[in-house]
Structure 1
Amino acid sequence: MKKENVKLAMAPIGWTNDDMPDLGAENSFEQCVSEMALAGYTGSEVGNKYPKDPVVLKEYLDIRGLQICNQWFSSFLASQPYKQVEKDFRAQLGFLKAMGADVIGPSEQTSSCQGDLHTSVFTGKAVFSTEEFRALTEGMNKLGHIAREEGMTLAFHHHMGTAVQTIEETERFLNDTDPDKVTLLFDSGHFAFSGEDPVAALEKFISRVGHVHLKDMRTNVFNEVKTKDSSFMDAVREGVFTVPGDGSIDFPSLFTILDKNNYKGWMVVEAEQDPAKANAFTYAKMARDYIRINAGI
């Protein structure tokens, strides 16, 4: 891949898990960003332990040669009044602009089961009515327009447990949104967990990809949690996800597709694991070495 086109970031979720705070509770924000930089990354997404004041956060990051590239945004366009979602979106957009980021990554959380420990992610995912799906796509077009006006890119995050999880649902979402306003946050791990082929998904959606999450999946663990009909959080605790090169996903093919299509932007290593079982710094270095060898960056 062309080094001038792609920047490499690391997500803090390997150090501290926002959805399950006991995972990595012992790890500080300072340790997290220091180890990211030491492992060879130049960017980071935002975790709950990060300072909320952009001036304070920027000082911590600048000295380590890191910048914020994106932040998750929980949207509820299918269940909340649009004006409330827009208010929350604008507030987060303002924070990201102050940090010099150029991407915001919404995921629609209406009826999502991803954080519900008592619901199977295999049978309990959100399914939208026609009206709910229309509220999502029309609202996302509006949010995408706002982001564009602020010089930023909206990259929508398909996600396990939500109403936009599968290739079919993602295609419907993209067909019903404006490509000038809404791009896709491609997540290899979520397509794999959903039973899809991440390589086929990237081939299909590459023209709309605005941000990339590099997440691997351990097939043996996936088979176990599927047999148990586990929740998404329980699957994470069991170690279903890992960093590129440590699971079953064909990352060299993904890198080839991105390179052939002249992808420009961030690639973010994201692997939510229990750091007590999978040391975050060790796995960050492992992923960095793998990407250097297999993507040439």
Structure 2
Amino acid sequence: MDTMSNMDTIKIANAPCSWGALEFDLGAAAPDHLQVLQEIRETGYVGTELGDWGFMPTEPAALRAVVGRQGLDLIGAFVPVALAEEAAHAEGITSALRVAGLLKDAGYPEAVIVLADDNGTVAERTSHAGRISPNMGLDEARWRAFARGAMAVAKAVRDRHGMRTVFHHHCAGYVETPEELDKLLSLTDPELLGLCFDTGHYAFGGGDPLAGIAKYRDRIWHVHFKDYDPQVGIQSRRKGWDYFESVRQGVFCELGKGSVDFAGVLEVLKNTDYQGWIVVEQDVLPGMGTPKVCARNNRIYLEHLGI
């Protein structure tokens, strides 16, 4: 197998969350989409995700115009749904179909729906992110509800728009730890629901990203590259920080400055003929740091790894 040609098929994107454009209601404004898209292109990336609904235009032609103006591809969109709650499933399906329809009508039918729990909305999970104990998890009935909801979203997106859905494990949600991810994947159809593997969230949730990406490789259709600073993680545990304070303190650092073995992760991907996208994410809260500088540093780091 020609590993160099495999590396050539992997494309590198960034996402609005790296500029503080997050799905949470944080009471502060991120840079607008025009600045974010321009800076994604200027720092060396060739794709982006949509960001929260309304961050970018919600009319297909307008969306195509602003993304295309920067020469970028639009490769996915994050859709949070409170999947453990049966009552939230119908609204979640509607939301996912709305987003998928926008992507398809704007000319991006290969984009994926990145489905996640409605992270940050359950106080116990949010306040204990990075230190979840088994008694904070779902019981069997709610696990079944969670899995049914995820499958229903994926099926609706596939049947209506012919598009794929991947599940994003995420701290401050009900699928954070390696054991919780195992549980969800065991309850869902691998032909219908793929996995968005996020290296940083997997590490913050207590896992080894290199072991995780090898273990779940057959389910992985989309990859998020995020680094994890274990020293901040230790402080978070000692001081009892919630998820948002951990992010504010830099738990997700620049690539190469944390504990994730990105060279090893890339080796697994190239040796298994991964041909999807890698999305660099360095989650920050609105107004934090210098996103454009970090984005460029992250791209340079990946260039040094050969991609």
TM-score, normalised by the number of residues in structure 2: 0.88
Q: Is contact 1:244-1:287 (8 Å) kept?
A: yes
Question: C-alpha distance in 2, partners of 1:198/1:186?
Answer: 9
Once the two structures are TM-superposed, the CA of residue 146 in structure 1 deviates from its matched residue by 2.5
SS in 2 for 1:71: strand
Question: C-alpha distance in 1, partners of 2:301/2:158?
Answer: 34
Q: Is contact 1:10-1:41 (8 Å) kept?
A: yes
TM-aligned CA distance change 1:276 to 1:107, over 3 Å: closer
- Are 2:95 and 1:88 aligned? yes
Within a 5 Å distance, the mapping from 1:209-228 to structure 2 comes to 209-228=220-239
Q: Is contact 1:114-1:160 (8 Å) kept?
A: no
Determine the structure 2 residue equivalent to 1:75.
81
- Are 2:27 and 1:12 aligned? no
SS in 1 for 2:74: strand
- Are 2:114 and 1:108 aligned? no
TM-aligned CA distance change 1:275 to 1:284, over 3 Å: farther
Determine the structure 2 residue equivalent to 1:54.
60
Within a 5 Å distance, the mapping from 1:20-39 to structure 2 comes to 21=26, 25=29, 27-39=31-43
TM-aligned CA distance change 1:171 to 1:41, over 3 Å: same
Q: Is contact 1:110-1:126 (8 Å) kept?
A: no
Question: C-alpha distance in 1, partners of 2:123/2:204?
Answer: 12
Amino acid of the structure 2 residue aligned with 1:134: R
Once the two structures are TM-superposed, the CA of residue 7 in structure 1 deviates from its matched residue by 1.6
Q: 1:157 aligns with which of 165, 168, 173?
A: 168
Question: C-alpha distance in 2, partners of 1:75/1:198?
Answer: 25
TM-aligned CA distance change 1:53 to 1:169, over 3 Å: same
Deviations 1:46-69 (A, max 9, x none): 224322222112111111111211
TM-aligned CA distance change 1:110 to 1:244, over 3 Å: closer
Amino acid of the structure 2 residue aligned with 1:14: S
- Are 2:294 and 1:287 aligned? no
Determine the structure 2 residue equivalent to 1:232.
243
Once the two structures are TM-superposed, the CA of residue 110 in structure 1 deviates from its matched residue by 7.7
- Are 2:152 and 1:146 aligned? no
Question: C-alpha distance in 1, partners of 2:152/2:32?
Answer: 37
Amino acid of the structure 1 residue aligned with 2:166: A
Amino acid of the structure 2 residue aligned with 1:65: G
TM-aligned CA distance change 1:83 to 1:188, over 3 Å: same
Deviations 1:48-100 (A, max 9, x none): 43222221121111111112111111122321433333222211221122230
Question: C-alpha distance in 2, partners of 1:87/1:281?
Answer: 34
SS in 2 for 1:241: coil
Identical pairs, percent: 30
Q: 1:120 aligns with which of 128, 132, 135?
A: 128
- Backbone CA RMSD of aligned residues: 2.3
Q: Is contact 2:125-2:132 (8 Å) kept?
A: no
Deviations 1:137-188 (A, max 9, x none): 1222232223333221111011112221111111121111111101111000
Deviations 1:259-278 (A, max 9, x none): 11111211000011257553
User: Segments of 4+ in structure 1 off by > 4 A?
Assistant: 20-23, 114-117, 123-126, 274-277
**Unmatched tracts of structure 2, length 5 or more:** none
Determine the structure 1 residue equivalent to 2:145.
135
Q: Is contact 2:51-2:78 (8 Å) kept?
A: no
Question: C-alpha distance in 1, partners of 2:185/2:213?
Answer: 13
**Unmatched tracts of structure 1, length 5 or more:** none
Q: Is contact 2:44-2:299 (8 Å) kept?
A: yes
How many residues are matched? 294
Greater displacement, 72-81 / 30-39: 72-81
TM-score, normalised by the number of residues in structure 1: 0.91
Amino acid of the structure 2 residue aligned with 1:175: S
